[in-house]
Chains A and B, each alone.
Chain A
Amino acid sequence: MVSRVLSLTSGRVAAAVLALIALLALLGPWLAPHDPLAQSTATLAGPSGSHWLGTDHLGRDVLSRLLAGSRVSVLGSLEVALVALAVGVIPGILSVHLGRVFEWLTLRIADTLVALPFLLFAVAVIALLGNGITQAMLVTGALISPLFYRVARAATLTVARSPYVEAAIVSGASVGWIVRRHVWAKVLPPIAVALAQTIGVGFVIVSSLTFLGIGVQPPAPTWGGLLASDLGYLTYQPWAPLAPALLIMATVWAANLLADAIRDVTGEAGRALIDDRKARAAGTGPAATATAGGA
């Protein structure tokens, strides 16, 4: 799937942007030209040779804070996506195979989680468990998990009634074997799309929570936190929110682009599309097997 995604321009661009963001998260603290927490008397200074993005209201280097803050945003969004994946996918697949009671129960739980306003719920849980990004993201991941539950369930339903699955059941195959052998391959592509989308959503959530001062303790820098503090000094630095806002936008856009690319290359239609492109590139005309359907 990776090579097919990278065969698309959109896939390559998305991967490049996300790789850059991941690199920032990994090396950001070392790349920072100044201590992101060091205050100086040069407050709200404009861009200069020593401070490329200027300084904030406490005289701290904005570029260093952006670089240092990238790790929290990346790890937070990954945490949201992975928690949602872990909590949502397995029950989603098993809800088709483990009988009506399990199905009814998981569906009701998913409906309940969907009904909860995630931001409000995250704030409430943080008030109970303490202000930390891990708790905030765990809660948010759990609240987003119905997305994965439904995607996994829908994909599983499409194969559950297929003749080869019925044959496997008749042959006495276990649920685990059927899922591993037949279901997983069908479920994986839509889940990969949902995962990429959720990473983007996760960035927005981390940024929103840190914008509200939730999830991190000051003076730890975050992109959302930088954006929030910049808004108070627009008279002095009207351009200041641009850098964190653009970083957030670029990351979310790249995650969505990646989701689109995965969707485009998976399933029958996706494979046909790639084959068609290869054929065109080879000068042999459109592939004859293109179909309108797809997973």
Chain B
Amino acid sequence: MYGHLTPRRSRADAPTNRRAGRLRTAALTAALATVLVPALSACGGESSAASGSATLKWASSYFPTHWDPVVGGSGAQFRELSLVYASLTRTDESGKAVPDLAKSWDYNAKGDEITFHLRPNLKFSDGTPVDASAVKAAIERAKKQKNSALFGDLTSIKSVDAKGLDAVVHLTQVDYQIPQLLGERVLQIASPKAAKSPDKLDQSPVGAGPFIVTQLIPGTKAVLKKNPDYWDAKNIHIDNVELTSAPDASTVVSGLQTGVYNFADIQPSQAAAAKKAGLDVFVQPGFNAENISLNVNKAPFDNDKVVDAVRYAVNRQEFVDKLTFGYGSVTNQPFPKGYVAYDPQSADDYPYDPAKAKKLLAQAGYQAGDIKLNLVIPAEDPQAEIVQSQLGKVGIKVTIKIDKNWATPFFAKDLTFSLYGTTGRDSAVQTLTAHFGPNGPLNLSSPYEPSGFEAAVAKVRQTPLDSPDYTKVLQAATRAGLKSKALVFTYSAPNLIAKSKSISDLPKNPAHIDWTGVTISGS
């Protein structure tokens, strides 16, 4: 481009005109600098400020549709929202609740009241102080806001008293799960001042987390900068974040390779390409579990033998082999193997036995082809095709129906047969009640509940997490839940991530993406 600014001179006339040429060049450079430097600075905005600093370029498959954590709920998008919002607690590498905005907490002797002691001198990015009244406002909003996706998770909380930096949470029952519950999944705390306009908060998030949103293009991109007032800012070594909604899975690796992104969650089918491209590929520990949801209030699943036939017809290993490329694992529970709540005693329940499935169907009075089901899912999913194939082998004819409005009938419990995948919860009790509880959002058969489940869960709530009996009691609750006829768990999908080698390893906090201590070299 520069060569086109002035005509090229011949070598012969160069010496005589050199001085004049230099003057013209200097004048032109000065003029261009005068005009372009301020203009480019203005255009660059945050981006130019970011140059030379540690910038995380994150392509996410879970780009938040809502930035109000109360509306966003406790699903997978909490990872992205936790860039902006902090919580009372967070989890460590063992999955145990540790201090976040609350520096400590203590239960009363009975176990039906917990007091969180907040860190002093903290403020939200709009300057509002982080105190107990902000916690109270956040909990009350989560319980009462019309479009809250969290109210079902907070049934143990009766009321909150705000006493300066102490938030006293009164419970409806003895519940030692509260510190696990009020973490990043369920209680990301927004500025109470900003939350007075929930619609505005949904597109202009204001929290006390490690980063502040400076630009947000709904559904597409968010630009964030480091929050110097975050309580643990000294351990945040990333200056800027560019969070982008991931494009088609097959193009993410190219984006990482070319530096458009330096961090992304990827599909298992892309892992080999990512490794080949010299990227760091790793599985972040998690609690993912996929399931086939059945509605026992509707035929043919109102017949126990049909439900059992489906359970025996499912070959879990096929899901792992075909969909996870060896990165996942089979599970017949709402958690992966190895998690504290995973019940080893139930590990061998309902093994793959298509002959037995056919026999059960015959006992239920159904011949091959008699049962015709619509498997309703929100989007094309090879998992559905495997279910269709496996049930087809035992004589159940499945038609896959894609319904873009799937969420409405699913959560209204109107569907008969569907698929769901959970990313788990930090509180194992929350995972169990979500799946097996009478009002659990993931229990397609509400208000059905397996017998003995409620008592088993109450016992877990009453058991302190550091009690020697905790694991035993928790696994007993899982066992009680697995008596449910409404869910057939299949496999645990991996949290597969590819990143540039310039990003240091992340803390292995299960199911979370924690940027504490993470560095980006070469910036």
Q: A interface vs B, CB < 8 Å? A: 37-39, 41, 43, 57-59, 127, 131, 213, 217-219, 231-236
Contact = CB atoms under 8 A, between A and B. Distances in A.
Contact of A218 (B270, B318, B402): B402
Contacts of A131: 401-402
Contacts of A127: 404-405
Nearest to B405: A127
B388 interface: yes
A219 B388 contact: yes
Interface string B282-324: 0000000000000000000000000000000000001001100
Given A39-B389, A218-B402, A235 B276 contact: yes
Contacts of A39: 385-386, 389
A58 B401 contact: no
Contacts of B379: 213
Contacts of B248: 231
Interface of B: 248-250, 267, 269-270, 272-273, 276, 318, 321-322, 379-380, 382, 384-386, 388-389, 399-402, 404-405
Nearest to B382: A58
A234 B271 CA distance: 12
B269 A219 contact: no
B399 A217 contact: yes
Nearest to A229: B382
Contact of B385 (A41, A219, A234, A236): A219
A218 B398 CA distance: 11
A219 B400 contact: yes
A232 B402 contact: no
A57 B269 contact: yes
A164 to B, nearest CB: 56
A131 B321 CA distance: 30
A236 B382 contact: no
A58 B250 contact: no
A234 B250 contact: yes
Contacts of B269: 57, 232-233, 235-236
Given A232-B267, A232-B269, A234-B273, A213 B385 contact: no
A217 B322 contact: no
Contact of B402 (A41, A217, A235): A217
B440 to A, nearest CB: 28
29 contacts: A37-B389, A38-B389, A41-B318, A43-B321, A57-B322, A57-B382, A58-B322, A58-B385, A58-B386, A58-B389, A59-B322, A127-B404, A131-B401, A131-B402, A213-B379, A213-B380, A217-B399, A217-B400, A217-B402, A218-B384, A218-B385, A218-B400, A219-B385, A232-B267, A232-B270, A235-B270, A235-B272, A236-B269, A236-B272
B315 to A, nearest CB: 10
Given A41-B321, A57-B269, A218-B380, A232 B385 contact: no
Nearest to B388: A219
Given A57-B269, A58-B322, A217-B399, A232 B386 contact: no
A57 B322 CA distance: 7
B249 A232 contact: yes
Nearest to B323: A57
Contacts of A217: 399-402
Contacts of A58: 322, 382, 385-386, 389
Contacts of B321: 41, 43
Contacts of A38: 389
**Residue picked from A41, A59, A232, most chain B C-beta under 10 Å:** A232
B270 A213 contact: no
B252 to A, nearest CB: 11
A231 B402 contact: no
A53 B321 CA distance: 21
A70 B497 CA distance: 37
Nearest to B274: A235
Nearest to B403: A131
Given A131-B402, A217-B399, A235-B270, 4 more contacts: A58-B322, A59-B322, A218-B380, A232-B250
B159 to A, nearest CB: 43
Contacts of B401: 131, 217
A57 B270 CA distance: 13
B250 A231 contact: yes
A43 B269 CA distance: 12
Given A39-B386, A43-B321, A235 B273 contact: yes
7 residue pairs, one from A and one from B, having the closest CB atoms: A235-B273, A213-B380, A231-B250, A39-B389, A219-B385, A235-B272, A232-B250
A34 to B, nearest CB: 14
A199 to B, nearest CB: 27
Contacts of A57: 269, 322, 382
Nearest to B401: A217
B247 to A, nearest CB: 12
Contacts of A59: 322
Nearest to A225: B380
Nearest to B272: A235
Contacts of A233: 269
A112 to B, nearest CB: 26
A127 B379 CA distance: 12
Contacts of A37: 389
A130 to B, nearest CB: 9
Contact of A43 (B322, B380, B388, B405): B322
B321 to A, nearest CB: 7
Contacts of A234: 250, 273
Nearest to A219: B385
A43 B386 CA distance: 13
Contacts of A231: 248, 250
A236 B267 CA distance: 14
Contacts of A218: 380, 384-385, 400, 402
A262 B379 CA distance: 42
Nearest to B379: A213
Nearest to A233: B269
Contacts of A235: 269-270, 272-273, 276
A43 to B, nearest CB: 6
A233 B249 CA distance: 10
Contacts of A213: 379-380, 402
B265 to A, nearest CB: 15
Contacts of B267: 232
Q: Output the residue of B322, B380, B384 with the most chain A CB within 10 A.
A: B380
A23 B404 CA distance: 35
B395 to A, nearest CB: 16
Nearest to A214: B402
A232 B268 CA distance: 10
Max chain A Cβ within 10 angstroms of own Cβ: one of B249, B272, B389: B389
A213 to B, nearest CB: 4
B117 to A, nearest CB: 49
A57 B269 CA distance: 9
Contacts of A236: 269, 272
Nearest to B275: A235
Contacts of B404: 127
A215 to B, nearest CB: 11
Contacts of A219: 385, 388, 400
